Structure 1
Protein backbone atom coordinates (compact mmCIF):
# COMPACT_ATOMS: atom_id res chain seq x y z
CA UNK A 1 0.00 0.00 0.00
CA UNK A 2 1.57 3.26 -1.15
CA UNK A 3 1.13 5.85 1.58
CA UNK A 4 3.54 8.36 0.09
CA UNK A 5 2.35 8.53 -3.53
CA UNK A 6 1.14 11.96 -4.68
CA UNK A 7 -2.45 12.40 -5.77
CA UNK A 8 -2.58 12.20 -9.60
CA UNK A 9 -4.26 15.58 -9.96
CA UNK A 10 -1.79 17.52 -7.81
CA UNK A 11 1.39 19.15 -9.08
CA UNK A 12 4.69 17.88 -7.64
CA UNK A 13 5.37 21.25 -6.01
CA UNK A 14 2.08 21.12 -4.08
CA UNK A 15 2.03 20.62 -0.32
CA UNK A 16 0.12 17.43 -1.16
CA UNK A 17 3.24 16.01 -2.81
CA UNK A 18 4.90 12.72 -1.97
CA UNK A 19 7.02 14.36 0.69
CA UNK A 20 4.16 14.62 3.13
CA UNK A 21 0.90 13.13 1.85
CA UNK A 22 -0.53 10.08 3.54
CA UNK A 23 -3.10 8.60 1.14
CA UNK A 24 -5.59 6.03 2.27
CA UNK A 25 -6.02 3.96 -0.89
CA UNK A 26 -9.27 2.23 -1.73
CA UNK A 27 -9.50 -1.11 -0.03
CA UNK A 28 -6.77 -0.27 2.44
CA UNK A 29 -8.86 -0.95 5.53
CA UNK A 30 -7.12 -3.70 7.42
CA UNK A 31 -10.32 -5.23 8.71
CA UNK A 32 -14.02 -5.33 7.99
CA UNK A 33 -15.81 -2.88 10.30
CA UNK A 34 -16.70 -4.67 13.51
CA UNK A 35 -18.47 -3.68 16.71
CA UNK A 36 -16.46 -1.27 18.81
CA UNK A 37 -15.20 -2.61 22.10
CA UNK A 38 -15.39 0.79 23.81
CA UNK A 39 -18.70 2.53 24.41
CA UNK A 40 -18.84 6.15 23.24
CA UNK A 41 -22.37 6.25 21.88
CA UNK A 42 -23.42 7.91 18.64
CA UNK A 43 -21.72 11.02 17.33
CA UNK A 44 -23.69 14.21 17.93
CA UNK A 45 -26.21 15.02 15.21
CA UNK A 46 -25.47 18.72 15.74
CA UNK A 47 -22.34 18.36 13.65
CA UNK A 48 -24.55 17.99 10.57
CA UNK A 49 -25.43 21.67 10.84
CA UNK A 50 -21.90 22.53 9.65
CA UNK A 51 -20.79 21.48 6.14
CA UNK A 52 -18.02 18.91 6.58
CA UNK A 53 -16.39 19.81 3.26
CA UNK A 54 -16.15 23.47 4.19
CA UNK A 55 -14.55 22.73 7.53
CA UNK A 56 -12.06 20.26 6.03
CA UNK A 57 -11.07 22.78 3.35
CA UNK A 58 -10.51 25.44 5.98
CA UNK A 59 -8.42 23.00 8.01
CA UNK A 60 -6.32 22.08 4.96
CA UNK A 61 -5.64 25.74 4.25
CA UNK A 62 -4.64 26.47 7.83
CA UNK A 63 -2.45 23.36 7.92
CA UNK A 64 -0.60 24.45 4.78
CA UNK A 65 -0.04 27.91 6.27
CA UNK A 66 1.28 26.37 9.47
CA UNK A 67 3.73 24.19 7.52
CA UNK A 68 4.94 27.16 5.50
CA UNK A 69 5.53 29.16 8.66
CA UNK A 70 7.44 26.26 10.22
CA UNK A 71 9.47 25.81 7.03
CA UNK A 72 10.37 29.51 7.00
CA UNK A 73 11.69 29.15 10.54
CA UNK A 74 13.58 25.96 9.59
CA UNK A 75 11.43 24.11 12.10
CA UNK A 76 9.75 21.65 9.73
CA UNK A 77 11.38 18.24 10.00
CA UNK A 78 12.74 16.79 6.74
CA UNK A 79 11.53 13.41 5.51
CA UNK A 80 14.66 11.65 6.75
CA UNK A 81 14.27 12.89 10.32
CA UNK A 82 14.18 9.78 12.56
CA UNK A 83 11.32 11.06 14.70
CA UNK A 84 9.23 11.91 11.62
CA UNK A 85 9.89 8.48 10.16
CA UNK A 86 8.79 7.02 13.46
CA UNK A 87 5.54 9.03 13.31
CA UNK A 88 4.95 7.93 9.71
CA UNK A 89 5.35 4.28 10.72
CA UNK A 90 2.85 4.66 13.56
CA UNK A 91 0.34 6.49 11.36
CA UNK A 92 0.64 3.82 8.69
CA UNK A 93 -0.53 1.26 11.24
CA UNK A 94 -3.35 3.39 12.70
CA UNK A 95 -4.95 4.89 9.59
CA UNK A 96 -6.45 1.67 8.18
CA UNK A 97 -8.63 1.38 11.29
CA UNK A 98 -10.09 4.88 10.97
CA UNK A 99 -12.81 4.26 8.41
CA UNK A 100 -15.20 2.26 10.64
CA UNK A 101 -15.41 5.32 12.88
CA UNK A 102 -16.13 7.75 10.06
CA UNK A 103 -16.70 6.82 6.44
CA UNK A 104 -15.50 10.25 5.30
CA UNK A 105 -12.00 9.14 6.27
CA UNK A 106 -11.89 7.11 3.04
CA UNK A 107 -11.41 10.38 1.13
CA UNK A 108 -9.16 12.16 3.60
CA UNK A 109 -5.64 13.00 2.50
CA UNK A 110 -3.83 12.01 5.66
CA UNK A 111 -0.68 13.93 6.49
CA UNK A 112 1.76 13.72 9.39
CA UNK A 113 4.38 16.37 10.04
CA UNK A 114 6.85 17.11 12.81
CA UNK A 115 7.62 20.65 13.97
CA UNK A 116 10.66 21.56 16.01
CA UNK A 117 9.37 23.24 19.15
CA UNK A 118 9.70 22.83 22.91
CA UNK A 119 5.92 22.88 23.19
CA UNK A 120 4.26 19.72 24.45
CA UNK A 121 1.64 19.53 21.74
CA UNK A 122 0.09 17.42 18.98
CA UNK A 123 -3.16 17.63 17.06
CA UNK A 124 -5.18 16.27 14.15
CA UNK A 125 -7.26 18.80 12.26
CA UNK A 126 -10.46 17.89 10.37
CA UNK A 127 -9.64 15.87 7.28
CA UNK A 128 -6.70 13.99 8.81
CA UNK A 129 -4.06 16.72 9.12
CA UNK A 130 -1.74 15.55 11.93
CA UNK A 131 1.15 17.45 13.50
CA UNK A 132 3.45 16.66 16.41
CA UNK A 133 5.86 19.04 18.11
CA UNK A 134 9.22 17.65 19.10
CA UNK A 135 8.59 18.76 22.68
CA UNK A 136 5.91 16.16 23.32
CA UNK A 137 8.17 13.35 22.11
CA UNK A 138 11.39 14.53 23.72
CA UNK A 139 10.29 16.07 27.01
CA UNK A 140 7.89 13.25 27.88
CA UNK A 141 10.21 10.59 26.41
CA UNK A 142 7.26 8.83 24.78
CA UNK A 143 7.56 5.21 23.74
CA UNK A 144 6.08 4.10 20.41
CA UNK A 145 3.05 2.74 22.26
CA UNK A 146 2.49 6.04 24.07
CA UNK A 147 3.02 8.01 20.87
CA UNK A 148 0.39 5.83 19.18
CA UNK A 149 -2.02 6.71 22.00
CA UNK A 150 -1.45 10.42 21.43
CA UNK A 151 -1.91 10.03 17.69
CA UNK A 152 -4.97 7.82 18.10
CA UNK A 153 -6.52 10.32 20.50
CA UNK A 154 -6.01 13.20 18.08
CA UNK A 155 -7.25 11.16 15.12
CA UNK A 156 -10.35 10.35 17.17
CA UNK A 157 -11.18 14.05 17.57
CA UNK A 158 -11.22 14.32 13.77
CA UNK A 159 -13.09 11.05 13.23
CA UNK A 160 -15.78 11.95 15.77
CA UNK A 161 -15.91 15.43 14.18
CA UNK A 162 -15.65 17.23 17.49
CA UNK A 163 -14.58 20.50 15.85
CA UNK A 164 -17.63 20.39 13.60
CA UNK A 165 -19.83 19.80 16.65
CA UNK A 166 -18.16 22.60 18.65
CA UNK A 167 -18.80 25.09 15.85
CA UNK A 168 -22.44 24.06 15.59
CA UNK A 169 -22.91 24.51 19.34
CA UNK A 170 -21.10 27.82 19.64
CA UNK A 171 -22.19 29.45 16.38
CA UNK A 172 -25.62 27.90 15.91
CA UNK A 173 -27.57 29.70 18.64
CA UNK A 174 -30.82 31.25 17.37
CA UNK A 175 -30.29 29.95 13.84
CA UNK A 176 -32.73 27.05 14.05
CA UNK A 177 -35.59 28.92 12.37
CA UNK A 178 -33.37 29.89 9.46
CA UNK A 179 -31.61 26.58 8.84
CA UNK A 180 -33.86 25.53 5.97
CA UNK A 181 -32.81 28.45 3.80
CA UNK A 182 -29.31 28.87 5.19
CA UNK A 183 -28.17 25.34 4.46
CA UNK A 184 -29.28 25.54 0.83
CA UNK A 185 -26.21 27.72 0.39
CA UNK A 186 -23.14 28.13 2.57
CA UNK A 187 -25.15 29.58 5.44
CA UNK A 188 -24.05 31.30 8.63
CA UNK A 189 -22.65 28.09 10.09
CA UNK A 190 -20.79 27.34 6.90
CA UNK A 191 -19.32 30.83 6.92
CA UNK A 192 -18.26 30.30 10.52
CA UNK A 193 -16.51 27.07 9.55
CA UNK A 194 -14.81 28.69 6.57
CA UNK A 195 -13.60 31.62 8.62
CA UNK A 196 -12.16 29.73 11.56
CA UNK A 197 -8.58 29.81 10.34
CA UNK A 198 -6.12 29.42 13.20
CA UNK A 199 -8.90 28.82 15.70
CA UNK A 200 -8.94 25.18 14.63
CA UNK A 201 -5.55 24.79 16.30
CA UNK A 202 -6.81 25.98 19.68
CA UNK A 203 -10.43 24.86 19.66
CA UNK A 204 -11.54 23.85 23.14
CA UNK A 205 -13.22 20.46 23.36
CA UNK A 206 -15.62 19.42 26.09
CA UNK A 207 -14.91 16.86 28.78
CA UNK A 208 -17.14 14.37 26.95
CA UNK A 209 -15.23 15.04 23.70
CA UNK A 210 -11.98 14.29 25.48
CA UNK A 211 -13.37 11.10 26.97
CA UNK A 212 -14.57 9.94 23.55
CA UNK A 213 -11.20 10.70 22.00
CA UNK A 214 -9.41 8.81 24.76
CA UNK A 215 -11.50 5.67 24.23
CA UNK A 216 -11.65 5.72 20.43
CA UNK A 217 -7.91 6.40 20.30
CA UNK A 218 -7.33 3.54 22.73
CA UNK A 219 -9.20 1.16 20.45
CA UNK A 220 -7.52 2.41 17.28
CA UNK A 221 -4.09 1.87 18.82
CA UNK A 222 -5.00 -1.56 20.21
CA UNK A 223 -6.24 -2.74 16.82
CA UNK A 224 -2.97 -1.52 15.31
CA UNK A 225 -0.99 -3.63 17.79
CA UNK A 226 0.00 -1.02 20.37
CA UNK A 227 -0.05 -1.90 24.05
CA UNK A 228 -3.31 -0.57 25.62
CA UNK A 229 -1.71 0.03 29.01
CA UNK A 230 0.38 2.74 27.33
CA UNK A 231 -2.70 4.99 27.48
CA UNK A 232 -2.43 4.95 31.26
CA UNK A 233 1.32 5.55 31.39
CA UNK A 234 0.91 8.35 28.82
CA UNK A 235 -1.51 10.30 30.99
CA UNK A 236 0.56 9.64 34.06
CA UNK A 237 3.45 11.31 32.24
CA UNK A 238 1.14 14.14 31.24
CA UNK A 239 0.12 14.61 34.86
CA UNK A 240 3.73 14.69 35.99
CA UNK A 241 4.56 17.24 33.30
CA UNK A 242 1.71 19.52 34.36
CA UNK A 243 3.07 19.55 37.90
CA UNK A 244 6.63 20.30 36.85
CA UNK A 245 8.32 23.51 35.77
CA UNK A 246 8.44 22.48 32.12
CA UNK A 247 7.22 25.17 29.75
CA UNK A 248 5.13 25.07 26.62
CA UNK A 249 2.37 22.81 27.95
CA UNK A 250 -0.01 23.68 25.09
CA UNK A 251 -1.35 20.14 24.91
CA UNK A 252 -2.22 20.07 28.59
CA UNK A 253 -4.07 23.38 28.40
CA UNK A 254 -6.61 21.73 26.12
CA UNK A 255 -6.22 18.12 27.34
CA UNK A 256 -6.01 18.31 31.14
CA UNK A 257 -4.78 15.20 32.88
CA UNK A 258 -6.20 13.94 36.14
CA UNK A 259 -7.10 10.89 38.23
CA UNK A 260 -10.59 10.60 36.71
CA UNK A 261 -9.18 10.44 33.20
CA UNK A 262 -6.66 7.80 34.16
CA UNK A 263 -9.29 5.72 36.02
CA UNK A 264 -11.56 5.69 32.97
CA UNK A 265 -8.72 4.48 30.80
CA UNK A 266 -7.79 1.80 33.32
CA UNK A 267 -11.39 0.55 33.21
CA UNK A 268 -11.35 0.36 29.42
CA UNK A 269 -7.91 -1.16 28.85
CA UNK A 270 -9.24 -4.73 29.47
CA UNK A 271 -11.97 -4.17 26.86
CA UNK A 272 -9.41 -3.77 24.08
CA UNK A 273 -6.70 -6.09 25.37
CA UNK A 274 -8.00 -8.91 23.16
CA UNK A 275 -7.77 -6.66 20.09
CA UNK A 276 -4.14 -5.92 20.91
CA UNK A 277 -3.30 -9.59 21.46
CA UNK A 278 -4.99 -10.56 18.18
CA UNK A 279 -3.09 -7.84 16.34
CA UNK A 280 0.20 -9.06 17.77
CA UNK A 281 -0.58 -12.66 16.80
CA UNK A 282 -1.49 -11.64 13.27
CA UNK A 283 1.24 -9.08 12.84
Structure 2
Protein backbone atom coordinates (compact mmCIF):
# COMPACT_ATOMS: atom_id res chain seq x y z
CA UNK A 1 0.00 0.00 0.00
CA UNK A 2 1.44 3.36 -1.01
CA UNK A 3 1.54 6.12 1.60
CA UNK A 4 -0.13 9.32 0.53
CA UNK A 5 1.92 12.47 1.13
CA UNK A 6 -0.34 15.33 2.13
CA UNK A 7 0.58 19.02 2.44
CA UNK A 8 0.44 18.74 6.24
CA UNK A 9 2.83 15.79 6.30
CA UNK A 10 5.25 17.59 4.02
CA UNK A 11 5.23 20.65 6.28
CA UNK A 12 6.17 18.53 9.29
CA UNK A 13 9.77 18.55 8.09
CA UNK A 14 10.16 21.91 6.32
CA UNK A 15 13.87 22.09 7.05
CA UNK A 16 14.74 18.54 6.02
CA UNK A 17 16.35 19.63 2.72
CA UNK A 18 18.51 22.12 4.59
CA UNK A 19 19.57 19.51 7.15
CA UNK A 20 20.39 17.02 4.40
CA UNK A 21 22.43 19.67 2.57
CA UNK A 22 24.46 20.41 5.70
CA UNK A 23 25.08 16.69 6.28
CA UNK A 24 26.23 16.16 2.69
CA UNK A 25 28.48 19.22 2.87
CA UNK A 26 30.10 17.89 6.04
CA UNK A 27 30.77 14.52 4.41
CA UNK A 28 32.10 16.08 1.21
CA UNK A 29 34.30 18.59 3.02
CA UNK A 30 36.40 16.17 5.06
CA UNK A 31 40.07 17.20 5.20
CA UNK A 32 42.85 14.96 6.54
CA UNK A 33 45.85 16.66 8.15
CA UNK A 34 48.96 15.41 6.28
CA UNK A 35 51.07 15.36 9.46
CA UNK A 36 48.76 14.24 12.28
CA UNK A 37 46.15 12.28 10.32
CA UNK A 38 43.33 14.13 12.11
CA UNK A 39 40.25 14.62 9.94
CA UNK A 40 37.72 17.46 10.09
CA UNK A 41 35.30 19.38 7.91
CA UNK A 42 36.60 22.17 5.68
CA UNK A 43 33.94 23.57 3.36
CA UNK A 44 36.03 26.43 1.99
CA UNK A 45 38.34 25.92 -0.98
CA UNK A 46 42.07 26.53 -0.69
CA UNK A 47 41.68 29.32 -3.25
CA UNK A 48 39.09 31.07 -1.07
CA UNK A 49 41.34 30.74 1.97
CA UNK A 50 44.33 32.16 0.08
CA UNK A 51 42.32 35.18 -1.09
CA UNK A 52 40.83 35.90 2.32
CA UNK A 53 44.17 35.45 4.06
CA UNK A 54 45.94 37.82 1.67
CA UNK A 55 43.22 40.45 2.04
CA UNK A 56 43.30 40.28 5.83
CA UNK A 57 47.11 40.36 5.93
CA UNK A 58 47.23 43.45 3.72
CA UNK A 59 44.89 45.16 6.15
CA UNK A 60 47.08 44.24 9.12
CA UNK A 61 50.19 45.53 7.35
CA UNK A 62 48.46 48.86 6.79
CA UNK A 63 47.44 49.17 10.44
CA UNK A 64 50.46 47.69 12.24
CA UNK A 65 54.00 49.07 12.22
CA UNK A 66 56.33 46.83 10.22
CA UNK A 67 59.82 46.40 11.66
CA UNK A 68 62.70 47.81 9.63
CA UNK A 69 65.33 46.14 11.83
CA UNK A 70 67.63 44.29 9.38
CA UNK A 71 68.76 41.76 11.99
CA UNK A 72 65.23 40.88 13.11
CA UNK A 73 63.99 40.51 9.55
CA UNK A 74 67.00 38.45 8.48
CA UNK A 75 66.53 36.15 11.46
CA UNK A 76 62.87 35.47 10.69
CA UNK A 77 63.46 35.02 6.95
CA UNK A 78 66.35 32.60 7.58
CA UNK A 79 64.34 30.42 9.94
CA UNK A 80 61.15 30.64 7.88
CA UNK A 81 63.08 29.72 4.74
CA UNK A 82 64.33 26.49 6.28
CA UNK A 83 60.89 25.60 7.59
CA UNK A 84 59.17 26.40 4.29
CA UNK A 85 61.72 24.20 2.51
CA UNK A 86 60.90 21.11 4.55
CA UNK A 87 57.12 21.40 4.24
CA UNK A 88 57.51 21.17 0.47
CA UNK A 89 54.24 21.11 -1.45
CA UNK A 90 51.98 20.61 1.56
CA UNK A 91 50.04 23.71 0.49
CA UNK A 92 50.95 24.22 -3.20
CA UNK A 93 48.67 27.24 -3.56
CA UNK A 94 50.18 29.07 -0.58
CA UNK A 95 52.01 32.32 -1.14
CA UNK A 96 54.28 32.30 1.90
CA UNK A 97 55.02 35.68 3.44
CA UNK A 98 56.70 36.25 6.81
CA UNK A 99 56.56 39.76 8.26
CA UNK A 100 58.07 41.16 11.47
CA UNK A 101 55.86 43.70 13.24
CA UNK A 102 57.40 46.30 15.55
CA UNK A 103 55.44 45.90 18.77
CA UNK A 104 55.98 44.78 22.36
CA UNK A 105 53.19 42.25 21.88
CA UNK A 106 54.21 38.73 22.89
CA UNK A 107 52.57 37.04 19.96
CA UNK A 108 52.76 35.60 16.47
CA UNK A 109 49.92 34.68 14.13
CA UNK A 110 49.10 32.92 10.88
CA UNK A 111 46.43 33.53 8.27
CA UNK A 112 45.20 31.10 5.61
CA UNK A 113 47.29 30.93 2.48
CA UNK A 114 50.72 31.26 4.08
CA UNK A 115 50.68 34.67 5.79
CA UNK A 116 52.64 34.74 9.06
CA UNK A 117 53.32 37.65 11.39
CA UNK A 118 55.83 37.74 14.25
CA UNK A 119 56.07 40.57 16.79
CA UNK A 120 59.41 41.94 17.97
CA UNK A 121 58.22 41.69 21.58
CA UNK A 122 58.05 37.93 21.29
CA UNK A 123 61.37 37.75 19.45
CA UNK A 124 63.04 39.62 22.31
CA UNK A 125 61.75 37.02 24.76
CA UNK A 126 63.26 34.12 22.83
CA UNK A 127 66.97 33.44 23.29
CA UNK A 128 67.83 31.42 20.21
CA UNK A 129 66.73 30.36 16.74
CA UNK A 130 65.50 26.99 18.00
CA UNK A 131 62.89 28.74 20.12
CA UNK A 132 61.81 31.08 17.34
CA UNK A 133 61.62 28.10 14.96
CA UNK A 134 59.17 26.45 17.36
CA UNK A 135 56.93 29.52 17.16
CA UNK A 136 57.11 29.92 13.39
CA UNK A 137 56.72 26.16 12.91
CA UNK A 138 53.56 26.31 15.01
CA UNK A 139 52.14 29.08 12.82
CA UNK A 140 53.06 27.22 9.63
CA UNK A 141 51.25 24.24 11.13
CA UNK A 142 48.03 26.26 11.30
CA UNK A 143 48.33 27.07 7.59
CA UNK A 144 49.10 23.52 6.46
CA UNK A 145 46.32 22.15 8.68
CA UNK A 146 43.90 24.69 7.17
CA UNK A 147 42.66 25.59 10.63
CA UNK A 148 41.37 28.93 9.33
CA UNK A 149 39.17 27.14 6.81
CA UNK A 150 38.04 24.69 9.48
CA UNK A 151 36.96 27.53 11.78
CA UNK A 152 35.11 29.31 8.96
CA UNK A 153 33.37 26.05 8.06
CA UNK A 154 32.49 25.47 11.68
CA UNK A 155 30.90 28.90 11.81
CA UNK A 156 28.89 28.18 8.67
CA UNK A 157 27.57 24.88 10.04
CA UNK A 158 26.74 26.31 13.46
CA UNK A 159 25.01 29.26 11.79
CA UNK A 160 22.83 27.10 9.54
CA UNK A 161 21.81 24.77 12.36
CA UNK A 162 21.09 27.76 14.59
CA UNK A 163 18.93 29.39 11.93
CA UNK A 164 16.94 26.19 11.44
CA UNK A 165 16.50 25.65 15.17
CA UNK A 166 15.55 29.27 15.77
CA UNK A 167 12.81 29.06 13.17
CA UNK A 168 11.30 26.03 14.88
CA UNK A 169 10.85 27.52 18.37
CA UNK A 170 8.59 30.25 19.71
CA UNK A 171 11.14 32.13 21.84
CA UNK A 172 13.77 32.79 19.19
CA UNK A 173 15.90 35.14 21.30
CA UNK A 174 16.12 32.73 24.22
CA UNK A 175 17.03 29.91 21.85
CA UNK A 176 19.81 31.97 20.27
CA UNK A 177 21.33 32.75 23.67
CA UNK A 178 21.16 29.14 24.86
CA UNK A 179 22.34 27.72 21.54
CA UNK A 180 25.25 30.16 21.33
CA UNK A 181 26.45 29.35 24.82
CA UNK A 182 26.14 25.60 24.42
CA UNK A 183 27.84 25.40 21.02
CA UNK A 184 30.63 27.71 22.15
CA UNK A 185 31.45 25.71 25.27
CA UNK A 186 30.81 22.23 23.89
CA UNK A 187 31.89 22.55 20.27
CA UNK A 188 33.71 25.73 19.23
CA UNK A 189 36.19 26.19 22.09
CA UNK A 190 37.25 22.53 22.40
CA UNK A 191 37.99 22.40 18.68
CA UNK A 192 39.94 25.66 18.92
CA UNK A 193 42.09 24.19 21.69
CA UNK A 194 42.56 21.03 19.64
CA UNK A 195 43.76 23.17 16.71
CA UNK A 196 46.38 24.75 18.96
CA UNK A 197 47.56 21.40 20.27
CA UNK A 198 47.77 20.08 16.72
CA UNK A 199 49.76 23.11 15.56
CA UNK A 200 52.14 22.58 18.49
CA UNK A 201 52.84 19.02 17.32
CA UNK A 202 53.22 20.12 13.72
CA UNK A 203 55.67 22.78 14.88
CA UNK A 204 57.80 20.08 16.52
CA UNK A 205 57.68 18.03 13.33
CA UNK A 206 58.71 20.87 11.01
CA UNK A 207 61.35 22.24 13.40
CA UNK A 208 63.02 18.83 13.65
CA UNK A 209 62.98 18.36 9.86
CA UNK A 210 64.61 21.78 9.47
CA UNK A 211 67.36 20.94 11.95
CA UNK A 212 66.03 22.91 14.92
CA UNK A 213 65.86 21.41 18.40
CA UNK A 214 62.19 20.49 19.01
CA UNK A 215 62.65 20.60 22.78
CA UNK A 216 63.04 24.38 22.46
CA UNK A 217 59.23 24.53 22.24
CA UNK A 218 59.06 23.59 25.92
CA UNK A 219 61.30 26.53 26.81
CA UNK A 220 59.11 28.88 24.79
CA UNK A 221 56.04 28.07 26.84
CA UNK A 222 57.94 28.10 30.10
CA UNK A 223 58.96 31.66 29.27
CA UNK A 224 55.44 32.58 28.19
CA UNK A 225 54.08 31.14 31.42
CA UNK A 226 56.56 33.19 33.46
CA UNK A 227 55.26 36.46 32.00
CA UNK A 228 51.56 35.52 31.86
CA UNK A 229 48.82 37.15 33.91
CA UNK A 230 47.47 34.06 35.64
CA UNK A 231 45.04 35.95 37.88
CA UNK A 232 42.98 37.31 34.98
CA UNK A 233 43.19 34.25 32.76
CA UNK A 234 39.82 32.68 31.83
CA UNK A 235 38.99 29.17 33.07
CA UNK A 236 40.58 26.49 30.90
CA UNK A 237 37.24 25.32 29.51
CA UNK A 238 36.39 28.86 28.36
CA UNK A 239 39.72 29.49 26.66
CA UNK A 240 40.49 29.24 22.95
CA UNK A 241 43.97 27.93 23.80
CA UNK A 242 45.25 25.20 26.11
CA UNK A 243 46.71 26.49 29.37
CA UNK A 244 50.44 27.15 29.45
CA UNK A 245 50.85 24.32 31.95
CA UNK A 246 49.02 21.92 29.63
CA UNK A 247 51.15 22.95 26.66
CA UNK A 248 54.36 22.53 28.64
CA UNK A 249 53.27 19.06 29.74
CA UNK A 250 52.17 18.00 26.24
CA UNK A 251 55.30 19.35 24.55
CA UNK A 252 57.60 17.83 27.17
CA UNK A 253 56.05 14.46 26.41
CA UNK A 254 56.05 14.84 22.61
CA UNK A 255 59.35 16.63 21.89
CA UNK A 256 61.70 13.69 22.65
CA UNK A 257 59.94 11.68 19.92
CA UNK A 258 61.36 14.09 17.33
CA UNK A 259 64.93 14.12 18.61
CA UNK A 260 66.23 11.55 16.13
CA UNK A 261 64.71 13.52 13.25
CA UNK A 262 66.37 16.67 14.58
CA UNK A 263 69.80 15.04 14.89
CA UNK A 264 69.49 13.54 11.41
CA UNK A 265 68.84 16.97 9.87
CA UNK A 266 70.96 19.23 12.07
CA UNK A 267 74.13 18.97 9.98
CA UNK A 268 72.18 19.35 6.74
CA UNK A 269 71.45 22.98 7.58
CA UNK A 270 74.66 23.73 9.51
CA UNK A 271 75.93 26.17 6.88
CA UNK A 272 72.68 28.18 7.07
CA UNK A 273 72.50 28.74 10.80
Deviation, structure 1 residue 236: 0.5
SS in 2 for 1:263: helix
Other structure's SS at 2:110 match? strand
Task: Identify unmatched segments of 5+ residues in structure 2.
Answer: 1-33, 162-187, 232-238
Contact 1:126 1:158 in 2 (8 A): yes
Match of 2:67 among 71, 74, 77: 77
Q: TM-score, normalised by structure 2?
A: 0.68
Contact 1:238–1:257 (Cα < 8 Å) also in 2:
no
C-alpha distance in structure 1 between counterparts of 2:195 and 2:159, whole Å: 23
Match of 1:41 in 2: 37
Q: Does 1:68 align with 2:54?
A: no
User: Aligned equivalents of 1:227 and 1:207: distance in 2?
Assistant: 24
Change (3 A) 1:69 1:259: closer
Contact kept in structure 2, 1:142 and 1:234, CA below 8 Å: no
* Partner Cα separation in structure 2 for residue 149 and residue 43 of structure 1: 24
> 1:51 aligned to 2:45?
yes
User: Aligned residue for 1:128?
Assistant: 114
- 1:256 CA displacement: 4.8
- Secondary structure of the residue aligned to 1:127 is coil
Aligned residues: 202
Residue 166 of structure 1 is matched in structure 2 by 151
Give the deviation of 1:173 after TM superposition. Answer: 3.2
- Residue 225 of structure 1: aligned partner: 211
**For residues 153 and 140 of structure 2, what CA distance do their matches in structure 1 show?**
20
1:90 aligns with 2:79: yes
Q: CA deviation at 1:268?
A: 1.2
Change (3 A) 1:116 1:256: farther
CA distance in 2, matches of 1:233, 1:213: 16
Matched, 1:150 2:135: yes
CA apart distance, 1:239:
0.8
CA distance in structure 1 between the aligned counterparts of 2:192 and 2:55, rounded to whole angstroms = 25
Per-residue deviation at 1:120?
1.0
Between Structure 1 and Structure 2, the one with more helix by share is: 2
Alignment CA distance shift 1:67-1:175 (3 Å)? same
Question: Residues 270-281 of structure 1 correspond to what in structure 2 (within 5 A)?
Answer: 270-281=256-267
Can you list the C-alpha shifts for 1:138-189, whole angstroms capped at 9, x where unaligned?
Answer: 2x2342111000000011011101111111112223758xxxxxxxxxxxxx
C-alpha displacement of 1:224: 0.3
Unaligned runs of 5+ in 1: 1-34, 177-202, 246-252
Q: Which has the larger radius of gyration?
A: 2
Moved more, 260-269 or 233-242: 260-269
Mapped to 2, the partners of 1:94 and 1:174 lie a distance apart of 36
Whether contact under 8 Å (2:109, 2:118) holds in the other structure is yes
TM-score when normalising by structure 1: 0.65
Task: Confirm or deny that 1:117 pairs with 2:107.
Answer: no
* 8 A contact 1:124–1:155 mirrored in 2: yes
Q: Matches of 1:52 and 1:224 in 2, distance apart?
A: 25
Tell me which stretches of 4 or more aligned residues in structure 1 moved more than 3 Å: 173-176, 253-257
- Secondary structure of 2:78's partner? helix
